[in-house]
A and B are shown apart, each in its own frame.
Chain A
Amino acid sequence: MTAVANPIPAAAPTAHIKPPAGKLLRNVRTIRMIWFRELIRLRRMPTRIISSIAQPIIFLLVMGAGIGSLVGDKGAGGVSYQVYIFPGILAMSIITSSLFSAMSIVWDREFGFLREMLVAPVSRGSLVLGKAIGGGSVSVAQGLLLIVFAPLVGVHLTVPRVLGLIIALLLLAFALSSLGIVISSRIQRMESFQMVMALVMQPMIFLSGAVFPLTSLPTWLAVLTRLNPATYGVDLCRRILIPQAAPLTLFGNPVPMWADAAIILFLGAAMLGLGIRLFANAE
């Protein structure tokens, strides 16, 4: 009744209708928006970038040089120890930042923004998928910053190698962001999140082959490393950058690179599905 003189476009009662966008389009836009939101937030919190790459750099330079002087070129497939661990360090930075990317969910819960999303008429699936893609791409972006150190430690880079590496890191980041989401779905407070993450992260890094070869390990340790999703990501990265590196073996057989990728993708999809279910039942 006041529609004509009204500068606000919501005047007429008939304006309250279904939104013009279809369900699929709405969910696709939501995924994209959540993804962009992670990137915008990263840009506005630059200290996060520094702290996320500081630890891998210390590992690479200090541990690489220190332990490298101990082991020499033996047992590292004929390359220097720093070259050997470089792909592992890349994967390690992905593990850290992907798992921590899920902290934004806990953050959103504490600061209320999660409720804005949960009360919206979009599927839980697109909220979770958007978070996984967003968290994954942020951590890949951070991981790629480390590539500038490759020539410094003597890793030879080519365009196909970098492209292959990006795909490998994306897969790993997606899988581990999904794992982070699963963990965050049941955690309400920031402090507990950090504690749980520390418990998950340390073993995941040390049991992944990032810093030592997984050949000739005691059986119980070998079994644990094969159960670790990060192991396949480390193997994939290493074989992309160091073609002569010994492949990971599973039940005594070398794992082809495509199988590494497939295993990560499968685990990631399973985690994502679980994450969606947990969020659907959560609130």
Chain B
Amino acid sequence: MDHLTCEDAEVTNPEPSTSNPAPKAANNAAQSDPAIVVENLVRTFDDFTAVDGVSFQVEAGELFGFLGPNGAGKTTTISILCTLLGLSGGSARVAGYDVTTQRDDVRRNIGLVFQEITLDDYLTAAENLRFHGILYGIAPSEVKARMDPLLEMVGLSDRADQQVRFFSGGMKRRLEIARGLLHMPRVLFLDEPTIGLDPQTRIHIWDYVDELRARENVTMFLTTHYMDEAERCDRIGIIDQGKIVAIDTPAALKASVGADIITLITADDPAARAELEAGLGIDVEETPDGLVIRVVDGEAFVPRIFSTLKVGVRSINVRRPSLDDVFLKYTGRALRDADSSGGLAANPMVRAFRR
């Protein structure tokens, strides 16, 4: 089986250590069992393999992010974990239950915030929450007691009795987050929760997420293709073409890229390159953006560049590696380039639901 071998390769990947403990996980001894355990997960659609032997664990209380371009298998994986989609191979357990044999137990213990809005437009905010409460077996009398603080948290208390079709996109998303928490899930799945929202609303939603994490021991599983959102996660899995190519804390991933990045623009790049390589014994890369040097302590290295170079320097820039660099390193592409190749139509989940 193909995916078995590729899985082995991932586990033995020496650079980002998979044993790195999640910071939040240690907080709660009572929930020490992992919230999500995925082993060798495979999902194929006809001749297309959307998820190709994925394995990972998410600890209880952790904020785990799936980072990757559209069509990388993020939504397919999340749909399998939510029992919305069957799997073709491997296994997955969520909140301790198997997603294929214990569907109802999984469903009771998870909350979902999808990419697309799944509210009923013609019901009010309160009616949507009440409906959800009934679906999850919460006594009608209890729904109100849980609903009010949640509506307050997402800033919709005064809109409770308004029909959802009059809401803005951001308000709908906030209502969805409140709804996803109404039945006290152990794991909250957020599939691109801020896609298509304006920057201000994105910040608001992240404030809620942070607040939630401070208050409750909810495990969060997030998919995103925004780097700044991935930065907030305890750990990130980078997924590309159905495979996890790296998994670790954002800091460790960035460290695995190695050194700081110095970009240098000179009057004569090839000459400057020769001088630096001869004088300092370092590797210099020529790129369209200028010369790129990777060294451990970039700022301390700058004076040595100036003392070595005779060619005139026009500009110099030192920066720490970003998740973009991490993505580039593990997939060989920038996230932006990877994204443009697979639009919504290429997303197998969209195809699956429209089938």
Contacts and interface: CB of A to CB of B under 8 A. Distances in A.
A112 B138 CA distance: 22
A151 interface: no
A74 interface: no
The winner among B30, B131, B142, B185 for most chain A CB atoms within 10 A is: B131
Contacts of A40: 122-123, 127
B149 interface: yes
A34 to B, nearest CB: 8
Interface in B87-140: 95, 103-105, 107-109, 112, 114, 116-123, 127, 130-132, 134-140
B145 A120 contact: no
A8 B137 contact: no
Contacts of B214: 2
The winner among A18, A109, A283 for most chain B CB atoms within 10 A is: A283
A37 B123 contact: yes
Contacts, number: 125
Contacts of A108: 120
B184 interface: yes
B120 A113 contact: yes
Interface of B: 27-28, 30-31, 82-85, 95, 103-105, 107-109, 112, 114, 116-123, 127, 130-132, 134-140, 142, 145-146, 149-150, 152-153, 163, 181, 183-186, 214-218, 353-355
Contacts of A14: 30
A135 to B, nearest CB: 15
Nearest to B60: A13
A41 to B, nearest CB: 5
Q: Is the interface of A mostly helix, strand, loop or mixed?
A: loop
B127 A20 contact: no
Given A29-B134, A44-B122, A119 B82 contact: yes
Interface string A207-246: 0000000000000000000000000000000000000000
A181 to B, nearest CB: 18
Contact of B118 (A2, A6, A115): A115
B203 to A, nearest CB: 21
Contacts of A1: 27-28, 217
A120 B153 CA distance: 24
Interface of A: 1-2, 6-11, 13-16, 18-21, 25-26, 29-30, 33, 37, 40-41, 44-45, 108-109, 111-113, 115-122, 188-189, 283
A8 B112 contact: no
15 contacts: A8-B153, A8-B181, A8-B216, A14-B30, A33-B131, A40-B122, A44-B122, A111-B121, A112-B119, A117-B135, A119-B107, A120-B132, A120-B136, A121-B107, A189-B354
A111 B118 CA distance: 7
The winner among B83, B139, B215 for most chain A CB atoms within 10 A is: B215
Contacts of B85: 283
A2 B212 CA distance: 11
B183 A19 contact: yes
Nearest to B132: A116
Given A9-B149, A11-B215, A26-B137, A16 B120 contact: no
Contacts of B120: 37, 41, 108, 113
